[in-house]
Amino acid sequence: MVGIPQVIFILTLSILSPSVAQQASETYEQEQGPKIDLRVCTAPGSCNKLSTKLTMDSNWRWIHKVGTYKNCYTGNEWNTEYCPDPDTCAKDCALEGASKAKYEGTYGVEEIPNGISMKFVSKHKYGVNVGSRLFFMAGERSENYYMFKLKNEEIAFDADMSQLECGMNGAVYLIEMDENGGKGKNSNAAGAKFGTGYCDAQCPHDIKFVDGKANNKDWQPNPKDKSGNMGNGHYGICCNEMDIWEANSMSNAFTPHPCLETDDDSTPIVGAVPC
């Protein structure tokens, strides 16, 4: 899946509704997201190659107490010893890097010629991983997301969706994330390198950390999540979303999701959600 062109470009694999520790750790694994090349063209036949890499959304990453193997989040529940409140949790817990072997073995994400392959379900020694969400970085050594400037630009990519059955969803879309992943907000010391700062127009409540604080207030495990990993907290995080392409082996869609600033007296607009 390859893309070319002020927003973030995302690759995701999920069951229609997809499922962030804020300290950073590479104590146990170095971050080694898959490499991928973008081709940025200014005219027909005039293209420059940008060698970059992808990073996994922090919601999929191992969250542990800083400097230890002890989990801050296990299954679909927070460890109340390390996460008694949002601020303490964000200060004492870290997102761990993911090695190339973990990307492949745990998340089912691996490099292929001119792109990447993403598995929907990956069984590993610690359980089962379902889906994934990846972001483009600005370069192989950059710690910022690549910002796609869309005005008067074209995006092109190829994708093989033949293995995604009805009810599954592979998507390429853009959202208004901070270039640095919100690094520096409250206790977010991890930033884009570790996949922090996700938002979308559905105002997801399953994001484990929002703006540098744990989303553990009123957290409830999601009974419909068969992987036993997801839940919903008190806070959702909203932003504009442009779904360039959503598809499985049966169908595809192109869907704008605007986000509107509203007040109590506003009239809802179909297809939009409050910011």
Give the model confidence (pLDDT) of 159-207 as tens digits: 899 989 998 889 999 999 999 999 999 999 999 999 999 999 999 999 9
Task: Classify residue 84 as exposed, middle or buried by CB count within 10 Å of its CB (0-12, 13-18, 19+).
Answer: middle
Distance CA 8, CA 38 (A): 14
Residue 151, pLDDT > 90, answer no
Mean pLDDT of all residues in 4-26: 54
Q: Which of 108, 122, 135 is nearest to 20 (CA)?
A: 135
Active site members: 241, 246
> What are the structural domains, with CATH classification, of the chain?
8-274 (2.70.100.10)
Give the model confidence (pLDDT) of 110-122 as tens digits: 999 989 999 988 8
Q: Quick one: DSSP state of residue 7?
A: B
Determine the residue type at 16. L
Is the separation of the CB atoms in 218 and 77 below 8 Å?
no
